[in-house]
Chain A
């Protein structure tokens, strides 16, 4: 939480739209509704109870963080359940059935099982690094949720470096993987850790280049600005139509970064037992498990933010409100648009999670040389060409590709 406390006093964590004067410039394309400002209403409520604004701000600070943390964990539980059910459907099985209706309590049972398992540190392992490894894998992933927007003001922090922060944080993860691979004192773990780090650093470059093309179009690194640039004409203004190649590159690289099949070489069970996870049990293993699923949901959310219009509805809500004769600024309409935004973000993300799960259970794993060839010899040049073409199109058609 260093990042949150690094802001100067008085800067609210959830910025009101007044901080973004560019959006209100006359002649700007999109009419953005001011949205909900939960912080100011919460602060007024507390000040009505006799608290000072500073204390009210302090009470507010942990709330969005806790909310997002809970959302991330619940998202993981849902994803685990989806994974079990969809894999079962792919293989014509039934899947979890008895734990709750349709087996919805199965992931909870999995979690409890891992919680009660004995926490083993192998005798010849390096205890300190063995414990630190899983923590270093999970913490950056959770910190990255800082920049995921669910609405105009519905995010923990609209930091200026936005999406770049996510790229930077995701580059810490390989250190944790190397650490746990080394500390396990096991050749399979070490190989798995090295493979994970190699894979992670080779796919980070095309990923960053794909993000750069989007950033170039929206003239900002902030995730909120990137989504706002995609509003205006509903589904037609989403980035996926302007960046189809970038979308594919980003999704492939995101899957590789999450170590999902077809790119799950670091834990390829037929070759490496379970890679860097081999020696782990109990909660330490659960941290890896949690980290990988949080990362999957996070990647899906970021794809929806970067390419699928974030919280935008396929038809602009302003048009809908206008057709129904309602003002966009009316409180009821604002609550409805805000909820619709959250639902749309989550819906888009889970559509992508569904595709990721389907991919996992239908395609075979690639070999390590194929993986590195794909990353360095195919995706990297394509991403570079995509970036150059985007720059050229931006110069040629500034109206469509963000001038």
Chain B
């Protein structure tokens, strides 16, 4: 008979795996993009739950913070702030495209399954270090994984600068790629002052009041 802790872990594992599987299928298959985005957040949460079950609490918390708190929120932002109504053109041969992409995904799944079954996994794996993981991750990030870590941060910096350049459209007079004149309608206009000028409207009002 399983102990209470073991059976709880097993039930949690089943529930989380089901959440990951059906959530991921929902992300791909649902027609409503907002539902897909919210379900993606659920999938990320379930994955962080799986990390917790593996006693990797730091990775679980980092997963929650970065994927749910940052990535998914940004996706939702992008969906909700873009309210451009576009009539979608009818794509020719949609059914064939769907079948083809489904076949590609199935092939990828087959490949992963093959890797899974042919690799001689060491079972049971090394014992988890639990709360010591934070220190271990820090040591690795500053020794043998320093270069990938720094490269990733340079990549993020480049992405950030690129985003700022794209968002500040007012500095361009011509298109960067084609060299044509930039659409002046996109350039930010000088803002009309929000406050009313003092001596124009307010002064007469003040004089009338006893």
Contact = CB atoms under 8 A, between A and B. Distances in A.
B168 to A, nearest CB: 15
Contacts of A10: 5
Interface in B123-140: 130-134
Most chain A Cβ neighbours within 10 Å, of B6, B41, B81: B41
Nearest to B6: A9
A194 B81 CA distance: 8
Summarize A's interface: helix, strand, loop or mixed: helix
A6 B52 contact: yes
A194 B80 contact: yes
Interface string A1-37: 0110111111000000000000000000000000000
A121 to B, nearest CB: 17
A60 to B, nearest CB: 12
A249 to B, nearest CB: 19
B12 A174 contact: no
Interface of B: 3-6, 8-9, 12, 34, 38, 41, 45, 49, 52-53, 55, 57-58, 61-62, 64-65, 68-70, 72-73, 76-77, 80-81, 130-134
Contacts of A182: 34, 80
26 contacts: A2-B49, A2-B52, A5-B8, A6-B52, A6-B53, A7-B5, A9-B3, A10-B5, A129-B38, A159-B57, A159-B131, A160-B130, A164-B65, A165-B57, A167-B65, A168-B64, A171-B65, A171-B68, A171-B69, A174-B69, A175-B38, A175-B41, A182-B34, A194-B81, A201-B69, A221-B134
A322 B150 CA distance: 53
A117 to B, nearest CB: 27
A251 B80 CA distance: 30
Interface residues of A, number: 35
Contacts of A294: none
Interface in A173-196: 174-175, 178-179, 182, 190, 193-194
A347 interface: no
A63 interface: no
Nearest to A9: B5
Given A6-B9, A160-B134, A172 B70 contact: no
B134 A161 contact: yes
B51 to A, nearest CB: 9
A65 B62 CA distance: 24
Contacts of B62: 164, 168
A5 B12 contact: yes
Interface string A342-369: 0000000000000000000000000000
A179 B80 CA distance: 10
Nearest to A128: B35
A178 B75 CA distance: 11
A335 interface: no
Contacts of B64: 168-169, 171-172
B55 A6 contact: yes
